[in-house]
Structure 1
Amino acid sequence: MPPSENAPQFDPILTPRKGMPSPRLDEAEFRSRYRQLFEDPAFEHLKSEIDSVTDAAWDAYKNSRKSPYTRKAGPGYDDPEYDLSVDWIAAKDAIDEAQKRHDDKSILPRVLLINGSSRSEHTCPGEESKSYRMVEIARSAIEAVGGVDVDVLSLERLASEYGRHIHPCKACFSTSPALCHWPCSCYPNHSLGQVQDWMNDIYPLWVGAHGIMIVTPVNWYSPSSPVKLMMDRLVCADGGNPDPSRTQGKDAALAKIIEMQGWDYPRHLAGRLFSVVVHGDTEGAENTRRDLADWLRSMELESAGALAEIDRYIGYWKEYAKGHADFDQDRAIQAEVRNAALTLRDAVLAKRAGKMIVAGTDVDQPRKK
């Protein structure tokens, strides 16, 4: 919707900056890329059908039909007449249901365990990951004592399962937090073939959880690429706009005006507890653990305690081929993973019972984000 009569006049300094070269493809290049989906010889007898499908795909691309199916936003939105993507509505409904479960004290609280490694025996490495084994240790430890339900998110499926994607964050937040919708409205983008985005399943897992445990290896001094993709796409959970009609979709100029009127930075995951387990072979474990913990704290999640934050090396500077054997022998780190999981579980139950108080949660921060 246009800004209200009381809105400040648009300041030219807020004009969205433009000047990057266009990524648009011509028809020949588009068709060439699209047909790569059908390289297998099994498609050879379907040439005429593929030609027809390619024609339809080109039409969708040429006309930029990002969200081909929409419906009116309806009551509760800033502009009830705005045409919202049905994909986004479904994602929002799933998040709202997860939040209801999170707030329902008549059911058990939930802990989400995340395997951040992309390695598995079902792809090129030919072997399960140590992160997966740690998640299984954590799950067994929690389920043995009970009191909470456990969900497992195994990010290795990005590499091993057909049609699993976490598309990259487009950094809408850096233009204006009002432009970054919660949940993310950048995907799916049907005209660009940016579909099957996993985040619409992942968002409700985070929202429904009372405690989150991330287990990741160090990949080049950083968390794994699946973890980083998930992190970036969770930016909308921390200050993002829950009403796309307010910015008329992706109107960057309008979003800037709204931000300058005063943005409240809603913290959609605030108050949940976390644990971080980082393991490496040579270098970078401490920094990666600190980076992850700092990120979670910046979203106003709370550490379950010192025992819940671990960085360790397994088979330090030894042969990679012996990595699992070294983990088998390292009973200490296995115990530490178990303790981290139980610490998270205990903290979740203590907070549910009102026995865990984090000082400073009620003070107003002068800088929101």
Structure 2
Amino acid sequence: MANSKAAAYNGEQPVVRKGQVTEKMSRETFRERFNARYYDPAYRIEDAAIERLEAIAWQAYEQGRKAPITEKAGAGFADPGYDLSVEWREASRRVEAAQERQQNPSTRSRILIINASARNDGTCPGEMSKSFRLARRIEAIITAAHLDADFLDLSLVTSDHDRNIHPCKACVSTAMPLCHWPCSCYPNHSLGQVNDWMNEIYERFAACHGVVIVTPVYWYQSPGPLKLMIDRLVCADGGNPDPSSTHGKDAQRAKQLELEGWPFPKHLKGRAYGLVVHGDVAGIEGSRTALADWLDWMGFIEAGAQARLERYIHYYEPYATSHAALDNDTAVQAETDNVARAVVNAVTAIREGRLRRPDDTLEPPRAK
């Protein structure tokens, strides 16, 4: 579908606005930040080696070596001669392969279960989260139904060494085609923005037939790891699968490409979803609504009213006894189990051709 807004521009060249970041980091600041990783006195015996590494890293930063290893894009790309990041190409191939498996009717149905709490007992909190426990219940229901359960624990960004979900850089707000599917913003080796978890997460989303998100409410909103993941999934909603068409991050070229008419492909549409949102004081309804609206926009299919759960656990009671409260709240446990069952039923119906979005064949007059 062509973007209906494009016609209003009458072929005029859009202006790329500049001036927000006009200077690079100073040599001194760069050195200070690089060396911060080696604060531990145990590194002092390697100070000379660290100094040499810092000099190489500074050169990469100065020269902007975002993707230091590339190869020609080749056949099938808009510009076969474009120097494409080998890391992006591998990520793209894995996502495509996962999508092919997902669409193969002979494969087992697969549901992605996301524990969105940032808390776990492997780091500072010293205790597992209630979301983790509820997510494990969902996993058990799905496994008992003879479906594959893929458990994604987002709390690992807080306890694993250098596991990251880097923030979305909002390329989409410059122009939709500048946002590549999967994301090409990371890794950025010149900025040290590496070990990004999202390439694996994209693959896991592409492979699943349904998703269940279990999340607490933090200050009326989603926890940080979940929000980071959601923002980075923007490329699944209209993203450009061919970075050569924009010559990487050429904003002018991307703007022109959008204005010529962009189809806004929904790369993950047609999957079922369920939600379990819990809190202890406030914010559960708004958080659940926001998550459902996001998934609806992405083209996911709600698994029914019982697949949308928001509940308070241990309302206005001490944090210290909240796990005991969950132990005693058998109704919440049963309702969580029903979320899992509803998504299992929805996935089965989708794969058998009995369930689809009622508006699936309608063309929106305002694509975005």
Normalising TM by the smaller chain, what interval? Answer: over 0.9
Partner AA of 1:126 in structure 2 = G
Name the residue aligned to 1:338. Answer: 337
Amino acid at match of 1:50: I
Gaps of 5+ in 1: 1-7
3-state DSSP of counterpart to 1:192: coil
C-alpha separation between the residues in 2 aligned to 1:63 and 1:270?
A: 39
Distance 1:139 1:22 in 2: 49
Deviation at 1:327, TM superposition (A): 0.5
Structure 2: unaligned runs, 5 residues or longer = 1-8
Residue of structure 1 in register with 2:101 after alignment: 101
| Aligned residue identity for 2:359 | G
Find the counterpart in structure 2 of residue 211 from structure 1: 210
Give the Cα–Cα distance (whole angstroms) in 1 for the partners of residues 307 and 351 of structure 2: 18
Maintained 8 Å contact 2:217/2:278: yes
Structure-2 separation of matches of 1:47 and 1:256: 46
Work out the CA distance in 1 between the residues paired with 2:184 and 2:26: 26
Q: Which position in structure 2 is the counterpart of 1:45?
A: 45
Note the C-alpha offset of 1:9: 8.2
- In 2, the alpha carbon distance for the partners of 1:358 and 1:238 equals 16
Alpha-carbon deviation of 1:52? 0.9
User: Which residue is 1:5 aligned to?
Assistant: none
Alignment partner, residue 329 of structure 1: 328
- Alpha-carbon offset, residue 314 of structure 1: 0.2
Call closer, same or farther: CA 1:214–1:23 in 2, change over 3 Å.
Answer: farther
Output aligned runs, 1:256-295, within 5 Å. Answer: 256-295=255-294
Q: How does 1:115-126 map to 2 (within 5 A)?
A: 115-126=115-126
Secondary structure class of the residue paired with 1:15: coil
Partner residue, 2:12: 11
Query: Counterpart of 1:251?
Result: 250
Judge conservation of contact 2:209–2:271 (CA < 8 Å) in 1: yes
Q: What is the CA deviation profile of residues 256-314 of structure 1, one whole-angstrom value per residue up to 9, with x for unaligned ones?
A: 11111111001000111100110001000011000000000001111011111100000
Matches within 5 A, 1:208-247: 208-247=207-246
> Could you tell me which amino acid in structure 2 is paired with residue 316 of structure 1?
Y
For 2:53 and 2:31, the matched residues in 1 are separated by: 10
What's the CA shift for 1:150?
0.8
Distance 1:58 1:9 in 2: 44
Checking the alignment, whether the CA contact within 8 Å between 2:166 and 2:228 is kept in structure 1 is yes
Task: Check whether the contact 2:276–2:310 (CA below 8 A) recurs between aligned residues.
Answer: yes
Which amino acid in structure 1 is aligned with residue 288 of structure 2? R
Q: Kindly state the Cα deviation for residue 23 of structure 1 after the two structures are TM-superposed.
A: 5.4
CA distance 1:10–1:60, change in 2 (3 Å)? farther
**Distance between the aligned counterparts of 2:253 and 2:264, measured in 1?**
17
- Any idea what the Cα deviations from partners look like across 1:90-130, whole Å, max 9, x if unmatched? 11011011001101111101000000001011111110000
Question: SS at the partner of 1:151?
Answer: strand
CA distance in 2, matches of 1:188, 1:110: 28
State the secondary structure of the residue aligned to 1:131: helix
Q: For 1:47 and 1:142, locate their aligned partners in 2 and report how far apart those are by CA, in whole Å.
A: 52
Contact 2:272 2:303 in 1 (8 A): yes
Report the 3-state secondary structure (helix = DSSP H, G, I; strand = E; otherwise coil) of the residue aligned with 2:80: coil
Measured in 2, the distance between the counterparts of 1:199 and 1:342 equals 28
In 2, the alpha carbon distance for the partners of 1:44 and 1:9 equals 62
**Equivalent in the alignment of 2:4:** none
In structure 1, distance between residues paired with 2:197 and 2:145: 31
| Structure 1 Cα separation of the partners of residues 363 and 29 of structure 2 | 53
With over 3 angstroms needed to count, the CA separation of the structure-2 counterparts of 1:114 and 1:288, relative to structure 1, is same
Q: CA deviation at 1:255?
A: 0.7
Shift of 1:10: 5.8
- SS of alignment partner, residue 65 of structure 1: coil
* Distance in 2 of aligned mates of 1:67 and 1:239: 24
Residue 195 of structure 2 is aligned to residue 192 of structure 1: no
Aligned equivalents of 1:358, 1:341: Cα separation in 2: 20
How far apart are the structure 2 equivalents of 1:339 and 1:204? 27
SS at match of 1:152: strand
Match of 1:4 in 2: none
C-alpha deviations, 1:230-267, integer Å up to 9, x for none?
A: 00000000001000000111111111111111110010
TM-score by length of 2: 0.96
Partner Cα distance (1:154, 1:23) in 2: 38
User: Separation in 2 of the partners of 1:161 and 1:58?
Assistant: 26
Distance in 2 between residues matched to 1:21 and 1:269, nearest whole Å: 34
2:327 alignment partner AA: D
Query: How far apart in 2 are the matches of 1:29 and 1:22?
Result: 16
The separation in 2 between residues aligned to 1:92 and 1:141, in whole angstroms, is 32
* Partners of 2:270 and 2:356 within 8 A in 1: no
Which amino acid counterpart does residue 103 of structure 2 have in structure 1? D
Q: CA deviation at 1:170?
A: 0.5
SS of 2:310's equivalent in the other structure is: strand
**Structure 2 CA distance for aligned equivalents of residues 348 and 229 of structure 1:** 26
Structure 1 Cα separation of the partners of residues 297 and 238 of structure 2? 11
For residue 145 of structure 1, report the CA deviation from its aligned partner: 2.5
CA drift at 1:51: 1.0
Shift of 1:351: 1.2
